[in-house]
């Protein structure tokens, strides 16, 4: 089966084409609507790349170019020849809790939820509509970041705000990165020869956005992101948990409106806000150059991460594994080391040599560690392709 996976952002489209669950091509359309827009396609078999620097006005033009580069590279005769298209959707809201085939209801719901996911859902919708237009016979499947967290109990997803806000606006914790948390936890269970339905884990997805998830019997029971992807851990440019009262204070002190406050919390905070760098590679370099704010950012990051892992260890009846994944989780050995060292008394014992030399999927705990500690590279696109294949096979 040939499955195309699309991750449509406001000015980009990430795409990956799978044949029988093996990636055969991938690429990126960037800076849509900007004079510097471009598209690049990489053939996974040959490693050859095709690139075009051209004005790409909108998502429709972007998808047209993806099709043209597929044809030019000989990878695909036409978009209509694929068996299905899987779309990554950040927010499914309260009604879209299962990955599903796209229909009018699904389109209307994604649109409705745009009010609480304005940076993501409108772009996802544009991607789906463009695909329907370009290849009308190809079934489209939506895969929601929020779906894995549908099992959160009410006492975990409710905020202690007036109940009306939940009743009227559905303000509650939704959680994100579900595709990744479910993929890496299933993989860890498989490595340990355990059934995912009987497996308890804490997974830490640490990319530009970052979240931790508590998984009991293969199901999400709590997660650090909330109503939006802002809550929880300190991230690249997002503040994560803060005292909510700081925001009205800052609004008054700096005369900022709600949109400006939103930008402070989402774009000017986190690692970047503390030390001026949001890429961990730069932060590690800066620490070596003696930059004390970079040291502070690293210490804050690991301390807060350890607190979340510790709290999830407390609510799980037992923990089989801790999993690190995504750009920082997979590559920044110092983050794994500093975080696990704080958790040693709970039975998380990291093998520093294995941790320093890890490459790809690796068990990095000592044989005596009560909790197995893994690095498991995430593959959200593969997971979306598998889910898409599964759903269209049942059609």
Site of interaction with ligand ADP (CB under 6 A): 207-209, 236, 279-281, 326-328, 331-332
CB of 326 to ligand ADP, least distance (A): 4
Of 346, 383, 351, residue with least CA distance to 205? 383
Choose between 208 and 366: whose C-beta lies nearer to ligand ADP: 208
Q: How far is the CB of 236 from ligand ADP (least distance, A)?
A: 6
| Residue among 207 and 310 whose Cβ is closer to ligand ADP | 207
Nearer to ligand ADP, 127 or 209 (CB): 209
User: Which residue is closest to ligand ADP by CB?
Assistant: 327
Strands laid side by side in the 13-19 sheet: 49-53, 38-43, 22-30, 13-19, 2-8, 84-89, 140-144, 100-101
Q: What single DSSP character describes residue 204?
A: E
| Residues 202, 208, 211: CA angle, nearest 5 degrees | 25
> Which of 212, 215, 227 minimizes the C-alpha distance to 91?
227
Task: Give the residue numbers annotated as catalytic, written as ranges.
Answer: 145
C-alpha torsion sign, points 84, 85, 91, 93: negative
Least distance between ligand ADP and beta carbon 210 (Å): 8
Cα–Cα nearest to 130, from 71, 187, 62: 62
Residue nearer to ligand ADP on the CB measure, 262 or 282: 282
Smallest gap from residue 295 Cβ to ligand ADP (A): 15
Q: Shortest Cβ distance from residue 330 to ligand ADP (Å)?
A: 7
Residues 77 and 79: their CA atoms lie apart, in Å, by 7
Place of tokens 């994560």: 240
Binding site, annotated residues for ATP: 14, 205-209, 279-281, 327-331
The binding site comprises: 7, 14, 88, 205-209, 279-281, 327-331, 380
Residues 60, 58: Cα–Cα separation, whole Å: 5
Residue 9 or 93 having the CB closest to ligand ADP? 9
CB-nearer residue toward ligand ADP: 147 or 271: 271
Q: β-pairing, 38-43 with 49-53?
A: antiparallel
Which residues on adjacent β-strands are paired with residue 140? 85
Shortest approach of ligand ADP to residue 203 CB, angstroms? 13
**Residue whose CB is less far from ligand ADP, 212 or 391:** 212
CA 4/CA 272 separation, integer angstroms:
34
Residues 6+ apart with CB under 8 A from 105: none
Q: How many CB atoms lie within 10 A of CB 291?
A: 17
β-bridge partners, 366:
none
In whole angstroms, how close is the CB of 279 to ligand ADP at the nearest point? 4
Residue with tokens 């690095």: 375
- C-alpha–C-alpha distance, residues 88 and 91, integer Å: 9
- Cα 294 to Cα 130, 290, 330: the distances in Å are 43, 8, 20
């Amino acid at each position: 089966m040939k499955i195309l996976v699309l991750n449509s952002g406001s000015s980009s489209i990430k795409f990956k084409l799978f044949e029988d669950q093996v990636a055969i091509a991938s690429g990126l359309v960037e800076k849509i609507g900007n004079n510097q827009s471009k598209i690049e396609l990489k053939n996974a078999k040959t490693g050859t790349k095709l690139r075009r620097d051209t004005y790409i006005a909108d998502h429709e033009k972007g998808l047209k170019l993806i099709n043209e580069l597929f044809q030019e590279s000989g990878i695909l005769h036409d978009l209509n020849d694929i068996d299905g298209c899987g779309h990554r959707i950040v927010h499914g809201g309260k009604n879209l809790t299962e990955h599903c085939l796209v229909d009018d209801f699904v389109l209307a719901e994604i649109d409705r939820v745009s009010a609480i996911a304005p940076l993501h859902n409108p772009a996802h919708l544009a991607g789906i509509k463009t695909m329907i237009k370009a290849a009308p016979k190809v079934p489209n499947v939506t895969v929601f970041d929020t779906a894995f967290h549908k099992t959160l109990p009410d006492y975990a997803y409710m905020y202690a705000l007036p109940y009306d806000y939940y009743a009227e606006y559905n303000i509650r914790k939704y959680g994100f990165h579900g595709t990744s948390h479910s993929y890496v936890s299933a993989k860890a269970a498989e490595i340990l020869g355990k059934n995912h339905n009987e497996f308890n884990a804490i997974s830490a997805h640490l990319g530009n956005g970052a979240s931790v998830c508590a998984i009991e019997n293969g199901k999400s029971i709590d997660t650090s992101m909330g109503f939006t992807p802002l809550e929880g851990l300190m991230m690249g440019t997002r503040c994560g948990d803060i005292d909510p009262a700081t925001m009205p204070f800052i609004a008054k002190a700096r005369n900022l409106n709600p949109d400006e406050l939103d930008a402070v919390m989402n774009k000017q905070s986190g690692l970047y806000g503390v030390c001026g760098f949001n890429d961990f590679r730069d932060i590690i370099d800066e620490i070596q150059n003696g930059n004390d704010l970079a040291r502070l950012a690293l210490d804050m990051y690991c301390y807060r991460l350890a607190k979340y892992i510790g709290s999830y260890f407390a609510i799980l009846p037992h923990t089989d594994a801790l999993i690190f994944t995504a750009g920082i989780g997979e590559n920044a050995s110092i983050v794994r080391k500093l975080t696990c060292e704080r958790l040693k008394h709970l039975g998380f014992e990291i093998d520093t040599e294995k941790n320093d030399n890890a490459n790809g999927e690796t068990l990095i705990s000592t044989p005596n560690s009560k909790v197995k500690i893994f690095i498991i590279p995430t593959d959200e696109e593969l997971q979306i392709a598998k889910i898409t294949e599964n759903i269209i096979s049942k059609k």
